[in-house]
Amino acid sequence: MPSAKPAGMPRRQFLFTAAAGAAALGLGLPGLARAGQFKLPPLPWPQKALEPYISARTISFHYGKHHASYVNNLNRLIQGTPFAKLKLEEIIKASYGNNDAAFNNAAQVWNHTFYWQSMKPGGGGQPSGELAAKIKAGFGSMQACLDQLLKAAAARFGSGWAWLVVKDGRLVVVSSSNALNPLVEGMRPLLTVDVWEHAYYLDYQNRRADYLKAWAQHLVNWEFAAKNLGM
Ligand SMILES: [Fe+2]
């Protein structure tokens, strides 16, 4: 466990499920890992690109309003503080448990940038190569992995995220509440899906399960997961 987790922040926010897998290398969030004034990173695809599964209208609010607000809030909160000298991941770890406003906004900037890259037009399908082998080794089958991920996402009460991560060298599924990011628990995220209502309400209203099914079948970007695994 990283030293960043203070005693006052229990691990209750995470729900752990099955495991196994392999160690990993670098996460790819170019443009975010620098200190100073953070900018809203560009989307990896046009706003209409995920239709009909996620509408351009949802993306326009989710990216253009919510994600942008987290960036603006973060810049305002860190101005003139020691956080202003830190990279985004460093702010997330340093603020965890002692500055909720900075943590929530920094983590939400990171989480959303990671979420956009966790999806692509023409996604879904099956991972290949070493990632597929590690998923099969860890979960028994690709379907079992997806089932766990969607179950964690559906079961997350209120706002939060579901993640495929590397933890202690093994692939596991976790979910987190609100802005919480697995980085503060020493995990390496491979994929995430946003289950805040703002991610799906305009398209699916209360039908979170339908949004998750569409995400898994048509949008999930396994190449991004493989890249984060270091392959
Ligand atoms: Fe979101």
What pLDDT band is residue 35 in, cutting at 50, 70 and 90?
low
Indicate the range of 24-28, 53-57, 70-74, 151-155 predicted with least confidence. 24-28
How many angstroms is it from 75 CA to the middle of ligand 1?
A: 18
Looking at 69, 100, 117, which one is the last position of a domain? 117
Sign, CA torsion 64/228/141/167: negative
Query: Can you tell me the distance from the alpha carbon of 165 to that of 91, in angstroms, rounded to the nearest whole number?
Result: 20
In terms of domains, do 89 and 163 share one? no
Could you tell me if 224 and 125 lie in one domain? yes
| Total domains, the chain | 2
Q: Among residues of the chain, what percentage have pLDDT more than 90?
A: 79
SS (H, E, C) 55-72: CHHHHHHHHHHHHHHHHH
pLDDT of 16 above 90: no
More confident residue, 161 or 168: 161
pLDDT given for residue 18 in this prediction: 31
| Residue 169 pLDDT class (50, 70, 90 cuts) | confident
d(CA 195, ligand 1 centre) in Å:
7
pLDDT at residue 22 is higher than 60: no
Same domain, 177 and 200: yes
pLDDT of residue 231: 53
Q: Ligand 1 centre and the CA of 105: distance in Å?
A: 11
- 3, 135, 213, 221, 223 from 128: Cα distances, Å: 35, 10, 20, 12, 9
Stated as kind and residue range, the H or E segment containing 15 is strand 15-16
**Could you tell me the distance, in angstroms and rounded to a whole number, from the CA of residue 74 to the centre of ligand 1?**
15
Token readout for 86 is 């830190």
Contact 41, 67 (CB under 8 A): no
State the distance from the centre of ligand 1 to the C-alpha of 136, rounded, in angstroms.
Answer: 29
Task: Indicate whether 5 pLDDT > 90.
Answer: no
* Domain-located, residue 206: yes
Can you tell me the mean pLDDT for 47-69?
Answer: 98
Compute, in angstroms, the gap from residue 220 CA to the centroid of ligand 1. 16
Mean pLDDT over 128-137 rounds to 91
* Ligand 1 mean position, distance from CA 51 (Å): 17
Same-domain check for residues 160 and 77? no
Q: What is the pLDDT of residues 65-117, one digit of tens each?
A: 999 999 999 999 999 999 999 999 999 999 999 999 999 999 999 999 999 99
Residue 75 inside a domain? The answer is yes
Q: Which residue has the higher pLDDT, 27 or 39?
A: 39
The answer to whether residues 125 and 111 belong to one domain is: no
pTM for the whole thing? 0.87
Residue scoring higher pLDDT (12 or 138): 138
Q: What is the mean pLDDT of residues 60-64?
A: 98
